[in-house]
Structure 1
Amino acid sequence: MTNIPTHARVVIIGGGVVGCSVAYHLTQLGWTDVVLLERKRLTSGTTWHAAGLIAQLRATANMTRLAKYSQELYGRLEEETGLATGFRRVGSITVALTQERHEELRRSAAMARAFGVEIDEIGVSEIAAKYPHLNTDGVVGGVYLPKDGQGDPGNIALAMAKGARMRGAVVAEGVKVTKALKTNDKLTAVNWQSEDGSTGTIACEQVVNCAGMWGREVGTMLGAPVPLQACEHFYIVSEPIAGLTSLPVLRVPDECAYYKEDAGKLMLGAFEPKSKPWGLQGIPEAFEFDQLPEDFDHFEPILEAAVNRMPILGQAGIHTFFNGPESFTPDNAYYLGQAPGMANVWVAAGFNSIGIQSAGGAGMALAQWMDAGEKPFDLGDVDIARAQPFQRNRRYLAQRVSETLGLLYADHFPYRQKATARGIRRSPFHAHLEARGAVFGELAGWERANWYANPGQAREYEYSWGRQNWFDNRAAEHKALREGVGMYDMSSFGKLRVEGPDAMAFLNRVCGNQVDVEPGRIVYTQFLNARGGIEADVTVTRLSETAYLVITPAATRLADETWLRRHLGEARATITDMTASEGCLAVMGPKARALLAQVTPDPLDNDAFPFGTAREVELGMGLARLHRVTYVGELGWEVYVSSDMAGHVFETIAEAGQDHGLTLCGMHAMDSCRSEKAFRHFGHDITCEDHVLEAGLGFAVKTDKPDFIGREAVLRKREAGLDRRLVQFLLNDPEPLLYHNEPILRDGRIVGHLSSGSYGHHLGGAVGLGYVPCKGESAEALLASSFEIDVAGRRVAATASLKPLYDPKSDRVKA
């Protein structure tokens, strides 16, 4: 093939709807030397058999923003390219068959109002009027989104491919990338082979992995792991049904089913509770516009419920039984962004059966990210940097994705834990915690004690939207941290050692705060981007003149390490992940000093050990490093100990703790305490698009030091004033519960949504944080307003504060 160029600014691997979208949006930004290579035919993997449902509302504000953009794009593609996309705004209905599901839908409706998505809560009679073929027996209620739609997946992809070609992109079919050529962390070229046997090489500046269910194998080839796995996905299409007119898309998640009218036929699709992974040994080379063997036995329970729910389906007969593969990820969110470990490899893959509704927005966001060199807005939900290296393990993926497909339509209860592929990463204290009643959750593969069961209490979650079975357990743990002494395991938090002659200068360039401090000092700081947004929220402890320890949240350890490595440049410093080498126990509460004084001879008084310092001490018969910091707003220390001595240190503290009423606490109690203290949670309250000053973290930025990333943006914001502020809210009614995304109403008008929420057991009500617009206003004017929080459609009065409602002067922390 002679029409394949030998050089490109970017090579996109994969010609499904996502790869076509990335090419379309890059050329829209003026990139001309764009090459898209598809191993077979465009859309021949998953796109061609997708259901084509196009919804607006997603779980977060930014994912909703991307979905809404996809709709708008598909609506105008035909005019631009001349190819019909089949896009129709038919609306969608989701119905609930249980009270718990109805609560979820009401909360979703409230979230939609905060996100600016048109939505109506509708009763059974309205549902029947909009969908007369539905058997409404057992239906409790539902929601209707009038602007949701459906489209032709193949033509949507082909239209974007045509748009890219019209602006100069090369879109080549029948060309497979066979090898990646790399120098250190940079990919320099790809080799290709065409179906006619021709071969060649493209030197390239960037590569994008849009290979869909081949994404794992392509990622391995590119040196950038992409943990995903194909699963079988089933749907049936009925025979033509006389008189069947255009209907909204209908979802009945309690029966794992969705329905779509298409050309006078009815499609029934399923997200069954336990799915079937496929292609565990790799996808056959010849796979193209192909389907998998029928498995009627697997689908039969869904069909049986569907025939009852939709009687016309049982009368019409089945025209097509389809089984096709789609790619799924361990957490049901797709992968987007710059791959960790590689300087110029990007990923857009693993779309978990929402590729059509996501592709437009995902392509737009990735193209802008590639063009500008930084994320256009917060994409933490889908950033490939969240994927853990071990997750590419095929046995792990096979177990986990057997669950995650079904979770798409399962009840999305707060605090829901994955049940499969567990127990992989354990702290050195795991067995000790398990023996004392720990109930574990999982984050980034880590088993973490979330709460502790009482003797005789079942060690399991009983999920609901109300007070779950562990609510009182957390209350007791919370009380111990506030009034006595509690201990929780922080070993999963990331520990990055930065060491070398230039370590201080390098970290001072990356961090907003001043890290040129005496050894033994701890600095709370953020990594800022050029806009003053927050890329990471960390503590930095100076261990010596040339060595620092950066402590990061467990979920963002890899992302934070990647940020550091990408800004290291020529600095003479090394970055080493030390997370697994040390265990960490947080000993917190008014009695923390008295307890620790019983296990170490070293002084712990304020003069010898002030807040914000770290010291090595004797502890029991070993050594530990104590950091005097807190994430719960109390006197306390984080106890870091090498993994070999972790068991001894735990047993020593636990034995001494019997004299002080020591209570073991979980992550849920830590979160409720930090919420009362208004400590920010990265990924919720602070993200890359939240300005550090508007987040209320200006105290952690030192603009008197020169040349750190984001400095100019901080100075500009200080000059111009704040457009919004992060406000803490306490519900005046102690009964309702907050999680996040609940709308904030100021003087009766929606002005934002909560970024996080929990229950303040000490304050006596649910608490949350959220941004409120305040351009040109003083803090006093803002707080003079009346605030309410929309909880599932009910407006609940709230007290608002810019200072922490618990211990606003931090007297307890410094006691």
Structure 2
Amino acid sequence: AAWLVSRMVGGRALGAIHDYAVDCYKSIEQETCQSVSWHGCGSLRVATSADHLDWIHHLCDAVQGRGQEAVMLGPKEVADLNPLYDTRAAGVVAGIYTPDDGHVDPAGACLALASGARQMGAEVIRQCRVTGIRQLKNREWAVDTEKGRVIGEHVVNAGGYHARQIGAFSGLDLPIVTLQHHYVVTDDVPEFDDMNHEIPVTRDDYFCGYLRREQKSVLIGIYDKQAPQAVWLEGCPWDSEHELFDPNLDAISPWLENCFQRYPVLTDRGIKRIVNGGITYTPDGAMLLGPAPGHPNYWLACGATVGIAWGPGAGRALAQWIVHGSADISTRAFDPRRFGDWLGAEYARERAIEDYTIRQALP
């Protein structure tokens, strides 16, 4: 993924989670002395039709309603913020800009969060595979690992790609599917040398994705609508750490061509790198956050499609839920108990693919 963090969210609860992530990444470097390489370049979403204009007006009202900054822009202001974008060819009628947004280095962010946890007394054990989880007669949970057993009153499954397999240790069948997602990095763009600001992360439904600056290049993420592929249907390999897949150029080429129409400066640029990695999805696109059905004191924090933006706020909400019995935001949309036993693997896969294909579409 491109490690994007944005306040540009319509839902109130999910918006609060995004807001917390932005605030967290902007402040944690100072708190922990661990760099997260925060780029506060802002986010921009363009509208090219009346229906799309209605949608971004709704987004703007929602963000402002949470007390955050969001600004409606005209075509000229969009062009000023992102001079590479051909607003005339695109037929841009307006845009929404959230200036607090940005992107972060995921490795640095992880290290900073771990460092902050250690400073508050937590113990972090790395390279330690879980081999089993079961509840004891006294209702405590025993977590067996390659480095011994850990016993606690509560257990949280935040296993990412491996969350489904970890859940199976305790008889849980979690509706989580991993789908492939591409982004490409272009050759260097000399036009950046003449700019006095970093272009905002720009989202455009015409090419079903997002675009941002990556050093002297451009990074383009694509949510292709033709053939998103589900992987690891039998489980993510336990030794997988930074697994990547072969690129599917046939799937993303039409959307890249659309992107180049919007950004003529990229037409003659080569592609430096193509990355095809995995993103976890649930059938409705929302994460699993809260108590596992039928498993007292077993909590889920997994199935996140936007982990870098959801992680801090989701962790905070879950901690409040565990300690105080409820969070200060509504977690109903994320409650794992929304899915019943009727939900099978095939249904989960098909619905996850459907959600992926409309991820960047107009509601």
User: How would you bin the TM-score normalised by the shorter chain?
Assistant: over 0.9
Equivalent residue, structure 2, for 1:400: 351
Cα distance in 1 between the residues matched to 2:186 and 2:164: 35
Identity %: 30
Q: Amino acid of the residue matched to residue 112 of structure 1?
A: V
Equivalent residue, structure 2, for 1:128: 79
Q: Is 1:382 aligned with 2:334? A: yes
Kept in 2, the 8 Å contact 1:239–1:318? The answer is yes
Q: Amino acid of the residue matched to residue 35 of structure 2?
A: A
Kept in 2, the 8 Å contact 1:332–1:404? The answer is yes
Equivalent residue, structure 1, for 2:221: 269
Quick check: which has more Rg, 1 or 2? 1
Deviation at 1:187, TM superposition (A): 5.3
Counterparts of 1:552-567 in structure 2, within 5 Å, are: none
SS at match of 1:226: coil
Q: Is 1:170 aligned with 2:123? A: yes
Q: Is 1:189 aligned with 2:137? A: no
Deviation at 1:100, TM superposition (A): 1.6
SS at match of 1:389: coil
Equivalent residue, structure 1, for 2:175: 227
Give the TM-score taking structure 1 as reference length. 0.42
Q: Is 1:240 aligned with 2:183? A: no
Which structure features the higher share of strand residues? 1
Deviation at 1:363, TM superposition (A): 1.0
Q: Amino acid of the residue matched to residue 329 of structure 1?
A: T
Are residues 185 and 330 of structure 1, via their aligned partners in 2, closer, same or farther at CA, if it must alter by over 3 Å?
farther
Q: Amino acid of the residue matched to residue 233 of structure 2?
A: L
Q: Is 1:51 aligned with 2:40? A: no
Q: Amino acid of the residue matched to residue 124 of structure 1?
A: P
Deviation at 1:225, TM superposition (A): 3.6
Kept in 1, the 8 Å contact 2:187–2:217? The answer is yes
Deviation at 1:74, TM superposition (A): 0.9
Pick from 247, 252, 258 the counterpart of residue 299 of structure 1: 252
Deviation at 1:83, TM superposition (A): 1.0
Q: Amino acid of the residue matched to residue 182 of structure 2?
A: F
Counterparts of 1:639-788 in structure 2, within 5 Å, are: none
Deviation at 1:251, TM superposition (A): 0.3
Cα distance in 2 between the residues matched to 1:399 and 1:171: 36
Deviation at 1:356, TM superposition (A): 1.0
Pick from 151, 156, 160 the counterpart of residue 208 of structure 1: 156
SS at match of 1:59: coil
Deviation at 1:184, TM superposition (A): 7.2
Q: Amino acid of the residue matched to residue 394 of structure 1?
A: A
Q: CA RMSD in A?
A: 1.7
Equivalent residue, structure 1, for 2:34: 83
Cα distance in 1 between the residues matched to 2:73 and 2:243: 40
Q: Is 1:146 aligned with 2:99? A: yes
Which structure features the higher share of helix residues? 2
SS at match of 1:172: coil
Kept in 1, the 8 Å contact 2:10–2:58? The answer is no
Q: Amino acid of the residue matched to residue 208 of structure 1?
A: V
Cα distance in 2 between the residues matched to 1:227 and 1:89: 34
Cα distance in 2 between the residues matched to 1:57 and 1:130: 17
Deviation at 1:111, TM superposition (A): 2.2
Pick from 339, 342, 357 the counterpart of residue 295 of structure 2: 342
Equivalent residue, structure 2, for 1:366: 318
Are residues 291 and 379 of structure 1, via their aligned partners in 2, closer, same or farther at CA, if it must alter by over 3 Å?
same
Deviation at 1:110, TM superposition (A): 2.2
Counterparts of 1:432-451 in structure 2, within 5 Å, are: none
Deviation at 1:224, TM superposition (A): 3.6
Cα distance in 2 between the residues matched to 1:315 and 1:52: 26
Equivalent residue, structure 1, for 2:24: 73
Q: Amino acid of the residue matched to residue 69 of structure 2?
A: E
Cα distance in 2 between the residues matched to 1:312 and 1:287: 38
Q: Amino acid of the residue matched to residue 17 of structure 2?
A: L
Cα offsets for 1:704-746 (capped at 9, x unmatched): xxxxxxxxxxxxxxxxxxxxxxxxxxxxxxxxxxxxxxxxxxx
Q: Amino acid of the residue matched to residue 63 of structure 2?
A: A
Q: Is 1:108 aligned with 2:59? A: yes
Deviation at 1:183, TM superposition (A): 4.2
Cα distance in 2 between the residues matched to 1:223 and 1:377: 29
Number of residues of Structure 1 aligned to a counterpart in Structure 2: 356
Kept in 2, the 8 Å contact 1:57–1:117? The answer is no
Deviation at 1:222, TM superposition (A): 2.7
Kept in 2, the 8 Å contact 1:180–1:191? The answer is yes
Cα offsets for 1:530-559 (capped at 9, x unmatched): xxxxxxxxxxxxxxxxxxxxxxxxxxxxxx
Q: Is 1:409 aligned with 2:353? A: no
Deviation at 1:268, TM superposition (A): 0.2
Cα distance in 2 between the residues matched to 1:407 and 1:184: 46
Cα offsets for 1:8-43 (capped at 9, x unmatched): xxxxxxxxxxxxxxxxxxxxxxxxxxxxxxxxxxxx
Pick from 196, 206, 209 the counterpart of residue 257 of structure 1: 209
Kept in 2, the 8 Å contact 1:187–1:345? The answer is no
Deviation at 1:114, TM superposition (A): 2.0
Cα distance in 1 between the residues matched to 2:183 and 2:290: 31
Cα distance in 2 between the residues matched to 1:185 and 1:101: 56
Counterparts of 1:522-561 in structure 2, within 5 Å, are: none
Cα distance in 1 between the residues matched to 2:287 and 2:115: 25
Cα distance in 1 between the residues matched to 2:302 and 2:267: 36
SS at match of 2:169: helix
Q: Is 1:333 aligned with 2:281? A: no
Q: Is 1:315 aligned with 2:268? A: yes
Cα offsets for 1:93-151 (capped at 9, x unmatched): 10123322222112222222322221111121111111111122122321111111111
Cα distance in 1 between the residues matched to 2:173 and 2:325: 21
Are residues 304 and 254 of structure 1, via their aligned partners in 2, closer, same or farther at CA, if it must alter by over 3 Å?
closer
Kept in 2, the 8 Å contact 1:339–1:385? The answer is yes
Cα distance in 1 between the residues matched to 2:307 and 2:338: 19
Deviation at 1:248, TM superposition (A): 0.5
Q: Amino acid of the residue matched to residue 253 of structure 1?
A: D
Q: Is 1:92 aligned with 2:43? A: yes
Deviation at 1:287, TM superposition (A): 1.4
Cα distance in 2 between the residues matched to 1:210 and 1:171: 14
Cα offsets for 1:374-425 (capped at 9, x unmatched): 333311121222122233x22112211111112221111xxxxxxxxxxxxx
Cα distance in 2 between the residues matched to 1:58 and 1:104: 11
SS at match of 1:259: strand
Kept in 2, the 8 Å contact 1:187–1:222? The answer is no
Cα offsets for 1:475-534 (capped at 9, x unmatched): xxxxxxxxxxxxxxxxxxxxxxxxxxxxxxxxxxxxxxxxxxxxxxxxxxxxxxxxxxxx
Kept in 1, the 8 Å contact 2:283–2:349? The answer is no
SS at match of 1:143: strand
Cα distance in 1 between the residues matched to 2:126 and 2:203: 36
Cα distance in 2 between the residues matched to 1:214 and 1:166: 27
Cα distance in 2 between the residues matched to 1:185 and 1:345: 14
Q: Amino acid of the residue matched to residue 381 of structure 1?
A: A
Q: Amino acid of the residue matched to residue 292 of structure 1?
A: F
Cα offsets for 1:558-585 (capped at 9, x unmatched): xxxxxxxxxxxxxxxxxxxxxxxxxxxx
Give the TM-score taking structure 2 as reference length. 0.93
Kept in 2, the 8 Å contact 1:96–1:254? The answer is no
Cα distance in 1 between the residues matched to 2:56 and 2:329: 27
Deviation at 1:77, TM superposition (A): 1.0
